[in-house]
Amino acid sequence: MPHARQLRDALARGHCLRAPGVYDGLTALLAEQAGFELGFVSGACIAFARHGRPDMGLVSMSEVADSVALMRERVALPLIADMDTGFGNALNVQRTVRVFERAGASALQMEDQVMPKRCGHMAGKQVISASEMVGKIKAALDARHDADTLIIARTDALGVSGFDDALDRAEQYLQAGADALFIEAPKSLEQMHEITRRFAARIPLVHNLVEGGGSPVGDAATLEQLGYRIALYPAALLHLFVPQAQALLAHIRQHGSTKGYAGLIDLNRINAVLGAPELLAISERYGG
């Protein structure tokens, strides 16, 4: 798949890739039009936007796959697909990998939480044994059709069993063959320095820059200096959309109109963003 090779080539250049969270065709298109090299298909944002629910393992494998397929139909942008825990045991992981690859994922992110999982920055998480996660990673590697598809191993152990266990698990996941590591929610800059000292020269590292998540670092430039290779902004678009939507709805309820409300685009502009003129030109070629 060209998009998976494109992602590997981008990682090989050594800078920190910025991956906004995308969850439907519109957000994927906007990320591509903005010039990003990568998008992150956030399971949390699918839960937020499609279901109006928090990130607590309520989204199914097929719902994520459908979302990836819709985005892939619209954009060529490489996409990391959030596959949560793999949606079950090692056999479920293998099916998930095959389905997500067919849908158009360029990379697959899998975590070591107990299923059903919850947001990595929520209290009350639980993790499976490191040996079970190692088996899932090996199952994912054996199942992928394209060797360029990245398998990103995420550990949530830091908030459950401590920093040392998270490092030990990351080492085991690296040895199992993971293509990238994601140690979720480090608590201090010192911990991030230790993570990069141990792993950055050996494997690409991923970090979350989620608003309200309490990351010791807030920008991709600092992450790049530390040695991280992918910066995720998983919910940034929705974190903007929700207060803006609430304000607009309150305005309509009070005034009965959108007139005078700053920041809205109109139907002509959104059609231009979405490519209506290009589709009309194609339709004309076929006599439509």
Question: For the purposes of burial, counting CB atoms within 10 Å of the CB of 92, is it exposed (0-12), middle (13-18) or buried (19 or more)?
Answer: middle
Q: Is the pLDDT of residue 1 over 80?
A: no
Domain boundary (210, 225, 241) is at: 241
- Same domain? 114 vs 170: yes
- Residue 170: band (very low, low, confident or very high) from pLDDT cuts 50, 70, 90: very high
- Same domain? 157 vs 269: no
- Same domain? 23 vs 144: yes
Q: Domain with 30 in it: what CATH number? A: 3.20.20.60
- Same domain? 168 vs 207: yes
Q: Is the pLDDT of residue 116 over 70?
A: yes
Instruction: Tell me how far apart the alpha carbons of residues 64 and 205 are, in angstroms, rounded to a whole number.
Output: 23
- Same domain? 257 vs 135: no
What's the pLDDT tens digit per position in 62-106? 999 999 999 999 999 999 999 999 999 999 999 999 999 999 999
- Same domain? 181 vs 281: no
User: What pLDDT is recorded for position 242?
Assistant: 97
- Same domain? 74 vs 191: yes
- Same domain? 220 vs 271: no
Arithmetic mean of pLDDT over the chain: 95
Q: Domain of residue 100: give its range.
A: 2-241
Domain boundary (208, 224, 241) is at: 241
- Same domain? 189 vs 177: yes
The tally of domains found in the chain comes to 2
pTM above 0.85, yes or no: yes
- Same domain? 237 vs 247: no
What's the pLDDT tens digit per position in 38-69? 999 999 999 999 999 998 888 999 999 999 99
- Same domain? 100 vs 12: yes
- Same domain? 23 vs 83: yes
